[in-house]
Copies of this chain bind each other. A is one copy, B any other.
Amino acid sequence: MRDVAVLGVGQSEFGKFPERTIAAMGATAARAAITDAGIDASELQAAFGSRVYDATITSQTILKDLGITRIEMVNVENACAGGSTAVRSLYKDIAAGYIDVGIAIGVESMTTSPIAGKLIPPDKDDLDGQLGLTMPVLFALQAQRLMETHGATPEDFARISVKAHDHGALNPMAQYRKQFTVEEVLHSRMIADPITLLQCCPNTDGAAAVVMTSADFARRYTDTPVRIIGSSLTSGGYSFHRADLTNFELGARAASEAYEQAGIGPEDLDVLEIHDAFASEELIHYEDLGLCPRGDAVGLLRSGATALGGRIPVNPSGGLQSLGHPLAASGVRVIGDITNQLRGRCGDQQVPNAQVGLAQMLGGVATGLDAGAASVHILARPMRKDSTCCKN
């Protein structure tokens, strides 16, 4: 298999824009990624688009206005891991040599989606869903369990939201550039005990795109391409039908597969962008991703290691909490943000001298259908001839 590089990244503004079409937001992100890559749009050989709601012909609709047609276009779906699935599909096609250059796009209009203004509508065949097992409830069950098993407190969960908003306040693309105190987070409206409003990701419209190429192609445009050194996608249970609510088994498996391919471990990471639809889940991911031993997530959080300025910053972008969560866009956006970290282009949010980063996303069905997807990508900073930062 061939080496694959991320050559350009782009994002539309994240926020509530019911007047903006999928095509318009997607084209904004795609144009930005193509411009950033420095290629001509006519060089693209394939496109992978992702959108959770009304996915029909998404890539084609977005790219038509850029004059991109007559190439292979695939629209993929995997809930919140849909954007990551588009990235991985493109990665596989380039690594296998089917194509040299392509684009992955994630887009969502949550304000005009079928679930706008509603709780996620339960499947009529799904008893759990009909009884009210929605996403906030699932994550609240997990948070309650973390309080029992890990000694986590409501203040810990609030601190994760405070951290996300501290980071997001520095991000010009974020939906909410506002800081909060632990007290403010705890006293915002209760959604599902212990999760309060300010510990939930908002409803967001927006798009993200990445242009990816073979390493050989990338060298025509830059001496220092960011490489994807690990890529995984797997499936598994997502709901509460499992022995231990304090981990996502599919997420841990996705991580170990990506580490194995990359030939590195969590101790080699400098920065992460991960799924934090609800603040409390970040603790679970710390352990599933191996950032600390099982049971030590609360300690890792309290140490400040995962905040900007700490040893291993998590979600310096502001994460889903502050930056926003246009579902399928998020899995592409995390690849873009890690790429920018490794290129040293993140301004006030920059993790100094970041060399290796990880982008993770997982999603699925909260209810008794209990089915999900998890994806991990590991990216490495431009390699120079004397560099030995990674084993592979």
Contacts and interface: CB of A to CB of B under 8 A. Distances in A.
Interface of A: 1, 21, 23, 47, 52, 55-61, 64, 69-79, 85, 89, 92-93, 95-98, 114, 125, 233-237, 250, 253, 364-365, 369-373
A61 B372 CA distance: 9
A100 to B, nearest CB: 15
Given A74-B76, A236-B70, A364 B96 contact: no
Contacts of A74: 76, 78, 85, 89, 233
Per CB-CB distance, the 7 closest pairs between chain A and chain B, nearest first, are A60-B371, A96-B96, A75-B77, A73-B235, A55-B77, A57-B371, A72-B233
Contact of A70 (B60, B79, B235): B235
6 contacts: A60-B371, A61-B371, A71-B234, A73-B373, A74-B76, A92-B92
Identical chains in the assembly: 2
Contact of A237 (B69, B370, B371): B69
Contacts of A97: 96
B70 A253 contact: yes
B235 A370 contact: no
Contact of A59 (B98, B234, B235): B235
Residue among A71, A74, A369, A372 with max Cβ neighbours from chain B (10 Å): A74
Contacts of A76: 74-77
Contacts of A77: 55-58, 75-77
Given A57-B77, A70-B236, A71-B234, 16 more contacts: A56-B79, A57-B371, A57-B372, A57-B373, A59-B235, A60-B371, A60-B372, A64-B369, A64-B370, A69-B371, A72-B233, A73-B235, A73-B373, A74-B89, A75-B77, A75-B78
A23 B125 CA distance: 10
Contacts of A364: 57, 60
Contacts of A1: 96
A72 B235 contact: yes
B92 A21 contact: no
Nearest to A369: B61
A79 B96 contact: no
Nearest to A68: B235
Residue among A21, A60, A365, A370 with max Cβ neighbours from chain B (10 Å): A60
Contacts of A89: 74, 89
Nearest to A73: B235
Contacts of A64: 369-371
Contacts of A75: 76-78
Contacts of A79: 56-57
A1 B95 CA distance: 12
Given A74-B76, A75-B76, A21 B57 contact: no
Contacts of A365: 56-57, 60-61
A281 to B, nearest CB: 18
A74 B331 CA distance: 14
Contacts of A78: 57, 73-75
A374 B373 CA distance: 28
Contacts of A93: 92
Contact of A69 (B47, B55, B61, B236): B236
A253 B253 CA distance: 41
A132 to B, nearest CB: 19
